[in-house]
Structure 1
Amino acid sequence: MAGDTTAEKWGNQFFRWGPYALLGLAGLVSIASGDMLMTRDERHAASVLAVAALALQLWWSGIGSGLPEYDMVGRVYYVARLALGSVLTWLNPFFAIYVVIGYFDADRLLPRRQMYAGLLATAVTMAGSQSGGMPPADGTQWVAFGVLFALNASLTLVFGSIGVKEAEHARARAATIAELESANIRLEQAMRENAGLQAQLLVQAREAGVNDERRRLAAEIHDTIAQGLAGIVTQLQAAADSADPVVAGDHVERAAALARHSLGEARRSVQNLGPGALEHDTLPEALKSIVETWSVSTGVRAEFTVTGTVEALHGEIEATVLRIAQETLANAGRHARATRVGVTLSYMEDEVRLDVRDNGCGFDPHTLPRRETTRGFGLGGMRARAERIAGTVEIESEPGYGTAVSARVPLLSHG
């Protein structure tokens, strides 16, 4: 592109100053040969016409650069210059040095059809000059004029066509460069926008990660420490209310065991580890142990059933099922006033289903506070846990007819 800019710069300089140089050179040569080729009157006429040509060139230099391509003023300038040059060449053939400029700027000033006419008119003047001046004096000079005109016309038409093609190529290249520059500008703008969006997404992802970790820790605390503390309070209260030292001691021992278990679960939650119940047992074994412990702690009859072919599931899947079961049993113990609870774990073709049913007092799910159904750590917390692994939690309950909680999660095998 640097070469194209340099060539364009030199071309502009030539079309600006070239006519002056050619007119001056033609004038000097004509003056030197004036006594041989022109009469006194012809010299006077040539001087007046040369001054007119200079004035025409000065006028064009003042307005030509600001005109659009192929403007009518440019056409008038070309025709007027050719007319003056032709008359000057008629008076002295050496003024053809000035007329030759018409070969170079015809494609810049004239549309295509008019350009060929201008080139042919220039060829007539050049052939007349080369054959000895106009008009031809005899038959031999006419023949020479015809041959030279044919040669000049052929060359001008050939080079004119080449010039037109080069001009079209230059315009196409300029349009392509402009389009590429515009595309680069749009690309840079898009890259800046993408950089901004990426930064925004990073901030949002960081905030989402922080919020997700907060929710995870809050849910873990609720499922472990909070429930453990509630159990400890229940056992200690039972120990305080019991008059039998043996029974009171059993309650205190259970409270201590719950405290140790809750402490271990709290540590595991902080370290983002899975539930301790799954560390050495399978999911069915862990659920069975939780159900039996809950039954002993609450005095509510509870049964656990497994259906389907047991498979080792992904750790996150098993942890989610276990936490939902714990939360459901905790809710049943606190609110349901049930006498019987059934827990069923079903392994199906492409999902695992946990069903927890009780015969308690039931409730109307539509009347729960918004916090409990969305942002709380009860029913809303269970739904959030399931949704995190593309699962669902459905609750069916009615006052006086018990409650059924059904959790469905994908069956993703371990490993």
Structure 2
Amino acid sequence: MTTASDRAIDRRRAMFNRLASPLLLVIAGILAFVTKDVITPEPWKQQLIVVVVAATAVLQLFWLWAGPRRSRPDALSVTYFVVRWLLGATLALLNGFFAFFMAAGYFDSATFIPGKRRRRFALFACSVPISFAQVGGIPTDGPVGWIVFACLLTANNALLNFVGRMAEQEEERSRARAATIAELQQAQAENAALHTQLLIQAREAGVADERRRLAAEIHDTLAQGLTGIIAQLQVVATTTDPKVAEEHVGRATDLARHSLGEARRSVQNLAPEGLSHDGLPQTLRKTVDQWAERTGVHTELTVTGTAQQLHGEISATLLRITQEALANVGKHANASRVGVTLSFMDGEVTLDVRDDGSGFDPLSLPVRTGTGGFGLDGMRARAERIAGSLTVEAEPGAGTAVSARVPLVVDER
């Protein structure tokens, strides 16, 4: 993937390749003109230099017009490079300062010559007239001059190979960086899509969990309240004593009001109503006393440890578990005594609800259907939702014990 910075670098490189050759020709021409009386005192050489420089200038003007129209090396660019080399080599042999012009081939051979091997040959070809210029032209003083020329030619090509190799390595690193950036961008796009998907799933899971919680709240409040009202009205229907009927009608009325308040409160806040005014121990005591009064079962609440103001979710969970456990005792246990124990310990809170009722076999529990209550499954789900646990110990004829253990999380508000 090409970035804006890469495109800017490519534009500057293309401009340098277009302008390097004309600028070097101007510089070399000025130096040759200044030193013409020293290096090329012969008039015919000076005249030949003028002619060749003029031809080279025309060639440069032509390429300044035709070059930008080509995006890659082709036959015309190769022809331009060869003709330029011939003119530049002639100038370099006449005056060594034109070796600066020949050096342009070191920079733009990749632009004009296709293929790595052909470019290497083009670089070598440019080094030949430059090496001649370094020894003052074609050697005419015997083998020593040719040996020096060979040494300079070798040194120039060794340096070219070294610089070329470094440039290739840098280009490879650039391509690797570009590939890495492209992979990172793709990974970032995939992560963004995954993040969006996870948000959607989390939102859907939150909605489903909230529905379950609301269903449990309705079961623990309205359903249990209606059950108590029905039980009180059944007593009224079967009694002939006006005082007993009045007492149970009053209890049914109180339950109806309490259930209505809980229903309104559940819509606004799923925390139990009593917890908005009192702590968990006080709310549990009221709940236990009211349940004992309705059912006539002797029930005691015991609080051990140092009571603390628990987080609202912790308190609500323990209260709902207590209400459900007491509701189960009232429906199924036929108990005469119930004990509720709330224990504050280091790092956790435990709630135990024990009865001396008929008990049951935990392995023989029926599978809960859509018409049944939340029961033990609901209590266990509540405890697990706040990283707690719930265990049930029961035996036919020996009563039942429900024990919940939850983390001790203090309300810091």
Q: Paired residue for 1:17, among 80, 101, 110?
A: 80
Residue 299 in structure 1 maps to residue 296 in structure 2: yes
CA contact (8 A) 1:364 1:398 kept: yes
* Equivalence map 1:76-115=2 (5 Å): 102-104=124-126
Residue 254 in structure 1 maps to residue 276 in structure 2: no
Structure 2 unmatched ranges of 5 or more: 1-8, 22-72, 94-112
- What's the counterpart of residue 131 of structure 1? 139
The residue type paired with residue 233 of structure 1 is I
CA contact (8 A) 1:277 1:286 kept: yes
* 1:154/1:380 CA distance change after superposition, 3 Å: same
CA distance in 1 between counterparts of 2:239 and 2:366 reads: 37
What is the CA distance between 1:345 and its match in structure 2?
0.8
What is the CA distance between 1:148 and its match in structure 2?
6.2
Deviation string, structure 1 residues 297-323 (Cα, Å, up to 9, x no partner) = 112121111111111211211111111
* Equivalence map 1:261-300=2 (5 Å): 261-300=258-297
* 1:14/1:163 CA distance change after superposition, 3 Å: farther
CA contact (8 A) 1:372 1:379 kept: no
What is the CA distance between 1:229 and its match in structure 2?
0.3
CA distance in 1 between counterparts of 2:82 and 2:293 reads: 113
Which range moves more in the overlay, 166-175 or 321-330? Answer: 166-175
CA distance in 1 between counterparts of 2:221 and 2:123 reads: 98
Residue 187 in structure 1 maps to residue 209 in structure 2: no
- What's the counterpart of residue 137 of structure 1? none
CA distance in 2 between counterparts of 1:315 and 1:26 reads: 92
Deviation string, structure 1 residues 10-33 (Cα, Å, up to 9, x no partner) = 9968765333444578899x9xxx
- What's the counterpart of residue 146 of structure 1? 144
The residue type paired with residue 248 of structure 1 is A
CA contact (8 A) 1:372 1:378 kept: no
CA contact (8 A) 2:131 2:152 kept: no
CA distance in 2 between counterparts of 1:218 and 1:196 reads: 33
* 1:8/1:223 CA distance change after superposition, 3 Å: farther
CA contact (8 A) 2:139 2:145 kept: no
- What's the counterpart of residue 211 of structure 1? 208
- What's the counterpart of residue 335 of structure 1? 332
Q: Give the SS at the match of 1:354.
A: strand
Structure 1 runs (4+) deviating above 6 angstroms are 8-11, 24-28, 124-129
Residue 156 in structure 1 maps to residue 143 in structure 2: no
Deviation string, structure 1 residues 250-293 (Cα, Å, up to 9, x no partner) = 10010010001001111111112421222322211211111111
Residue 360 in structure 1 maps to residue 368 in structure 2: no
- What's the counterpart of residue 345 of structure 2? 348
The residue type paired with residue 382 of structure 1 is M
CA distance in 2 between counterparts of 1:357 and 1:8 reads: 93
What is the CA distance between 1:4 and its match in structure 2?
3.7
* 1:6/1:365 CA distance change after superposition, 3 Å: farther
Q: If the length of structure 1 is used for normalisation, what is the TM-score?
A: 0.70
CA distance in 1 between counterparts of 2:265 and 2:17 reads: 76
CA distance in 1 between counterparts of 2:144 and 2:373 reads: 105
Among the aligned pairs, what percent are the same residue?
49
CA distance in 1 between counterparts of 2:278 and 2:139 reads: 115
CA distance in 2 between counterparts of 1:324 and 1:318 reads: 10
CA contact (8 A) 2:334 2:358 kept: yes
The residue type paired with residue 236 of structure 2 is A
The residue type paired with residue 408 of structure 2 is L
What is the CA distance between 1:127 and its match in structure 2?
6.5
- What's the counterpart of residue 102 of structure 2? none
Please identify the structure whose Cα radius of gyration is greater: 1
- What's the counterpart of residue 63 of structure 2? none
CA contact (8 A) 1:124 1:149 kept: no
CA distance in 1 between counterparts of 2:317 and 2:284 reads: 12
* 1:389/1:8 CA distance change after superposition, 3 Å: farther
* Equivalence map 1:162-173=2 (5 Å): 162-173=159-170
Q: Give the SS at the match of 1:255.
A: helix
* 1:350/1:332 CA distance change after superposition, 3 Å: same
- What's the counterpart of residue 318 of structure 1? 315
CA distance in 1 between counterparts of 2:306 and 2:86 reads: 105
The residue type paired with residue 19 of structure 1 is V
Which range moves more in the overlay, 6-15 or 238-247? Answer: 6-15
- What's the counterpart of residue 43 of structure 1? none
What is the CA distance between 1:153 and its match in structure 2?
3.8
